[in-house]
Structure 1
Amino acid sequence: MKQLTSYNRVAGYLNKIFDLLNERFFENQLSRPTITIQSTPRAYGHFTTRSDTWISASGDSHEINIGAGTLSRPIEDVAATLLHEMVHYYNYVRGIQDCSRGGTYHNKRFKDAATARGLKVDHDPKYGWTLTSPGEDLLDLVVENDLTDILITRNDLHYTVTTTTGGHIGGNEKMPPKKSGSRKYVCPNCGISVRATRVVRVGCLNCQEIMVER
C-alpha cells in the first residue's frame, strides 16, 4: 500500500476503515455517512444528527468529521475517534439519547454502547463517559487489517486541541492523549514495519535483521 501522504488518499482510507468497523461492530447496519476532514477546535471529531447534512443526486447523508489537525496520531487512535462517532450514529438512528446538557455530556447509554463495540471508556466529571480509547477488539482489527499511520495532518498552529468538550453536533469525541495501545516494529535496513498489540521479538526475513520498536 502506498504511504498515506495525500489528502484524497486519506479520505478514501477513512471510508475503508468505516467499512471495516461497520462490519465488525455494527453488522453493516450503518449506511455510509459523508466522512469529512475539517479542523475541529477542542475536538477530535463529531457526528451530525441531520440526515441531510450532505445532499446529492444519489441521496442525503449524515456527516462524521475527523479533525484535520489530529490525523497524525497513531492509526488506532484515529480509528477510535471514528468508532466513537459511529456509536453516536448507531444510537441516533435507533432513537437512543446518549448525550445531554446540549450534547456535551455523554451518559451511560453511550458508555454501554461504546464498551460493547471495541472502545475503552473513562469518565470525566464534567462531560461524562466521553474519554474513549482503543480496546483490545479494536486493536485486533487494526493489526489484522494491517492499518497504517496517516502521514499527513493539518498544521493547526492557530489553536490547540485540548481535552475539554466544546459544543456537540449530535456527538463529539474528547479524549486525553494516551500512549498508543499497539507497538510498531521497523526493520532498520529496509524500513518495512509491522504492528503488534504486545511486546514481541520479530525479524525481517528479507534482511535477516531484528526489527526495532519505534
Structure 2
Amino acid sequence: MDLTPDLLLRGYASGIFPMAESREDTEVFWVEPRMRGIFPLDGFRISRSLRRRLRSGCYTVSTDRDFTGVLEGCADRPETWINRTIFDLYTQLHAAGHAHSLEVWEGEELVGGVYGVTLGGAFFGESMFSRRTDASKVALAYLVDRLRQGGFTLFDAQFLTPHLASLGAIEITQAEYRKRLAEALAVRADFDATGPLPSAQSLLQRSSQTS
C-alpha cells in the first residue's frame, strides 16, 4: 500500500511513525519503540546559558515561515532517515495544516529549527537541526511554550537521547505512551491559537512559572 498523508496520520494515531534506512532508500517502514521519549510540557529545562542566549536577541524565531527549509536542514547530515518519499509526504501534511515548523534565524539565514505533526492535543516531534550554537535549543524552548499555550498535552520525542534528556525529556513504556496518546487525541488543541511568538522575556517568565 502506498503511503499517503491520511495513512501517516492514522499511523500516528495508532502510536507508530515512519522512517527510511537512508536518504537514497526508496522504502519506508513503521516504527513503534518499546520505550518512548517524551517531553513533559511542564518539565523543559532552560539552562543559564540558554537563558542568556534567549535574552541576547542574536536569533529571531518564526513558525511555518519556511517548512521546506527546516525539512532540508534536518536532512542535511551524513546519515538521515528523511528520503524523498518522507520529504514529499510531510510537505503535503504541512499544506493540509497537520505539520508545522518552528524556525530560528540569524538575520535572514535559517540556522536552526524543528518540525512535527499535530493531531488533537498531541505534537509528534520529527526532527530538528542546528547550524549555530544553541539554535535547536532555542527552537525547542519556543516550541514547548507554544504547545503549552495552545492546549497540547503530549509532546512525543520518539527516542530519548542524552541531549534531549539534558533538556528535560523522559522515557516511558509503550503501554504508558499509548495511554497518554489516547488521552491527547481526545483533546482539542491549536498550534496557532496563541498568534505571534512571545518575546524572550515573556517566554522565560512563563517557563519559570511552570518549572
TM range (shorter): under 0.3
TM-score (norm 2): 0.26
Whichever of the two has the greater Rg, that structure is 1
Q: With CA pairs under 8 Å and 6+ residues apart, which has the higher RCO, 1 or 2?
A: 2
